[in-house]
Structure 1
């Protein structure tokens, strides 16, 4: 509409043919963009759903534009609204309630693996360890990953992002670093980090012999400390700012993923 108004304002009044041509051009561009979006948001997801179900996979049906995002958000809010019992170790229904229901709950059991929808993109969830091993040990990187073109520049372009021959090449480079013998050399660092954490907890115990700990930030701190000392040779305190920025970036990306993508809005 803005483009049409601009054309009407600047085009000569004595040239109706030019106005008609511009109008037709604008209409063609608009129709072309509408066709692309309709293909991306409806035809392609429906075609993929049909192909996946023909392979014997079960799962939720595609909902236009949002997929399972709204239902997943609702389930997560319901799960997080209830406190988890202190001695309960069944954390899967709280962390991923939607996926847990899809895989485990009898009345909504889709099977293993199963399909859910991240917007117009189908996700095939592999929960069988042997099948996951086949995917992770794939030598050629043929398994495609979900792409978020509007957010891809914010994310690190590492092994988890690559596909095909580039993925296989980077995996071959990284494999030696994760050999068992090399991981054993890191055990003293792991032990030192854990001892420091436990000592800090023991020092915080009150006179009544108890101390309440929020484990989530403590485990993040421990993980960051281990990674810093083993990979970068520095303590977590020195690299705290880097990990804080990475955590903030991750939270912003996940919030953006949950929003409806409007072309040009990002």
Structure 2
């Protein structure tokens, strides 16, 4: 009987200890650790919103994205207020070097060229933030790789982006742009000299056409088909709609 009581006491103690540890970890994740980060960032001169429990700036970010996309765009090349509405507002309110909250984690906004150069040259010290789980369906390759894997593939692709090689591609880009503009001119002429065009599908095709010409040469039609098969528009659109949504904090 005494042994059964002792086992029960041990089980209760283990259960209470597990509860305390779990509670501490949760509190540390949702409050203490973020507040410590916030204090350290402010000590170093960075500004941003105060941390809000669990979601951080995600709710406000989602609202601003929805509001920005509900309005027509101005005839301006300044697309930041629409594409990165919350980031644009944060930089405008605080400073070039500021931070935002994605869940309980702060994300730094760095715009100083020298700071960016130092960060990009130390790929082992500065890691990329975890992307939205839905976005990973499309974002693969060098964009998401880290450390030695990133360095290895960066070395592989670097020669392709040498300035002299890029200069040789300009005539191919010119041909692709010329063909697209010719299509627009024919459409406008067929409408009596004035017509409203949805340029977005043409710009998508322009990208595929330019890449196909430079990568496949004379077989660019075959390359264009491969490009279109690798980028299914329906999947892309679904992922882009899901990215701004507020997902479960901590779910990666």
Unaligned runs of 5+ in 1: 1-14
| More displaced 10-residue stretch of structure 1: 237-246 or 47-56 | 237-246
**1:165 Cα shift?**
3.9
Contact residue 224 and residue 243 of structure 1 kept, 8 A: no
More helix by share: 2
Contact 1:57 1:115 in 2 (8 A): yes
Residue equivalent to 2:65 = 76
Following superposition, the deviation at residue 70 of structure 1 comes to: 0.9
The aligned residue for residue 158 of structure 1 is 141
Matched residue, 1:36: 25
Deviation at 1:243, TM superposition (A): 0.9
CA distance in 1, matches of 2:140, 2:226: 24
Residue 58 in 1 paired to residue 41 in 2? Answer: no
Would you say how many aligned residue pairs link Structure 1 and Structure 2?
Answer: 243
**Cα displacement string for residues 172-213 of structure 1 (whole angstroms, at most 9, x for unaligned residues):** 332222111111232233223222322222232242312322
Distance 2:17 2:133 in 1: 25
Cα RMSD, aligned residues only? 3.2
Q: Which moved more, 1:26-35 or 1:175-184?
A: 26-35
Name the structure 2 match of 1:46: 35
Three-state SS of the structure 1 residue aligned to 2:129 is coil
Does residue 95 (structure 1) correspond to residue 79 (structure 2)? The answer is: no
Query: Which is worse superposed, 237-246 or 74-83?
Result: 237-246
TM-score relative to the length of structure 1: 0.75
1:197 equivalenced with 2:185 (yes/no):
no
Structure 2 unaligned residues grouped into runs of 5+: none
- Following superposition, the deviation at residue 49 of structure 1 comes to 1.4
Contact residue 145 and residue 163 of structure 1 kept, 8 A: yes
Structure showing greater relative contact order (alpha-carbon pairs closer than 8 Å, 6 or more residues apart) = 2
| In 2: Cα distance, 1:75 partner to 1:193 partner | 36
Does the 8 Å CA contact 1:121/1:146 hold for their aligned counterparts? Answer: no
